[in-house]
Structure 1
Amino acid sequence: MQESQTASGATDLTGSMLIAMPGMGDPRFEHAVIYMCAHSDDGAMGLIVNKPSADVSLGALLQQLEIEGSSGLDRKSVYFGGPVEMGRGFVLHGADYRSDLTTLQVDDAFCMTGTLDVLEHIARGDGPSQWLAMLGYAGWGPGQLEQELAQNAWLVCAPDPALVFATPDEQKWGAALKRLGIPALALSAEGGRA
């Protein structure tokens, strides 16, 4: 995680992970772990990496998009990436793949592609080696994320490809907290001020 600042002097959280604090008040983000793809004075965008959709499988999505794929993809989840633009798809993946159309390289380990060609490559077996397919994203307007951080709604930690791509979804929140040295049971829903 590269520490830098936005033009306004706020810490740039691009390439960081946000961990939802208990008692946030928004059930869509309960126990969420979000990989931050962009953060600037204009706002922020991230993808929730631990909330697989109960309603959509990758096989069903590929079929709907008329993309032929291997049968092994039927069991792969499509994730709830966040509540903004739920009909828009994204693939968060490792840096071993670049789309011919558009791939955002967030840092040395993570990229994001929002075009259909990445799904076509995954279906053919020549896409990224590690990936999560998502519908929707988490978005914040100018200053909104900074306000939520000041209200103790989120903790911030360095990203970890093993946590994002290899840890079971139900264990990602606790594993992210553990990276900060915080046991999940030690967290309170009430923030304090010194």
Structure 2
Amino acid sequence: MTDSTSLRDQFLISMPHLDDRHFSRTLTYICDHSEYGAMGIIINRPAGILVHDLFDHIQLDYTQVAIDPMPVFKGGPIHPDRGFVLHGDDGRRWLSSHSVTNEIQLTTSMDILEAMAVGEGPKDCLVALGYAGWSPGQLEHEIYENTWLSCPANSDIMFRLPAEERLQAAAASLGVNLQLLTTHAGHA
């Protein structure tokens, strides 16, 4: 798969007719896409817990500094017991990171959470439990079947907008209002 056909560093916007409990009304950031499949993190579905709750669960002391409440997201149905941190690349290196772009990294090691607990984490970050995955050719087929729209990712949407505004903001970047689209799939 060439870089021009890769969806890495793209948003996947679920179409209104997608009736799947894991992906209905989701905005997914694609972290990797190759001939081996695709992997992404859903960035607009809060899990109902805050990062503080996660710190409590993994026994990290976060009481030394004031940390703004930050939601943990349901990143996808695969490995919902594993944590993933999408973040801006500020030059620091973590034990287990994958560079999505020169500006965005995905980290799975505890050292980033330890840094966040003491107020030394990345400025732009999003914590998720689980991820979304597609087997080789599956995502391309789903796009062909009008399940998803894709557009270039945008850090402001990913890190700065409230979760409930992200899906429509991504669609609007394409000039699309999802509320005006039909809930039925079709091909022209």
- Aligned partner of 2:62 in structure 1 is 69
TM-fit CA distance, 1:72: 4.2
For structure 1, the 5+ residue unaligned runs are 6-10
Taking only the aligned residue pairs, the percentage that are identical comes to: 38
Deviations 1:147-170 (A, max 9, x none): 111110000000110000111111
Q: 1:175 aligns with which of 166, 169, 173?
A: 169
- For the residues of structure 2 that align with 1:27 and 1:41, how far apart are their CA atoms? 27
- Aligned partner of 1:165 in structure 2 is 159
Supply the AA of the counterpart residue of 2:117. Answer: A
- For the residues of structure 2 that align with 1:170 and 1:104, how far apart are their CA atoms? 27
- Aligned partner of 1:48 in structure 2 is 42
Structure 1 pair 58/108, CA: closer, same or farther in 2 (3 Å)? same
Output the TM-score relative to the length of structure 1: 0.90
1:93 aligns with 2:84: no
Deviations 1:102-133 (A, max 9, x none): 21111132111011111011111111101011
- Aligned partner of 1:8 in structure 2 is none
- For the residues of structure 2 that align with 1:177 and 1:72, how far apart are their CA atoms? 35
1:114 aligns with 2:108: yes
Structure 1 pair 129/97, CA: closer, same or farther in 2 (3 Å)? farther
Correspondence 1:25-40 to 2 at 5 A: 25-40=19-34
1:148 aligns with 2:154: no
Supply the AA of the counterpart residue of 1:157. Answer: C
Structure 1 pair 60/74, CA: closer, same or farther in 2 (3 Å)? farther
- Aligned partner of 1:4 in structure 2 is 3
Structure 1 pair 97/119, CA: closer, same or farther in 2 (3 Å)? farther
- For the residues of structure 1 that align with 2:96 and 2:51, how far apart are their CA atoms? 21
TM-fit CA distance, 1:188: 1.4
- Aligned partner of 1:188 in structure 2 is 182
- Between Structure 1 and Structure 2, which shows a larger proportion of helix residues? 1
- Aligned partner of 2:128 in structure 1 is 134
Deviations 1:46-105 (A, max 9, x none): 000111111x22112111212111464473211100000000100001111543312111
- For the residues of structure 2 that align with 1:23 and 1:192, how far apart are their CA atoms? 10
Supply the AA of the counterpart residue of 1:4. Answer: D
Structure 1 pair 97/134, CA: closer, same or farther in 2 (3 Å)? farther
Structure 1 pair 84/107, CA: closer, same or farther in 2 (3 Å)? same
- Aligned partner of 2:118 in structure 1 is 124
SS of residue in 1 equivalent to 2:86? strand
- For the residues of structure 2 that align with 1:47 and 1:72, how far apart are their CA atoms? 27
1:104 aligns with 2:98: yes
For structure 2, the 5+ residue unaligned runs are none
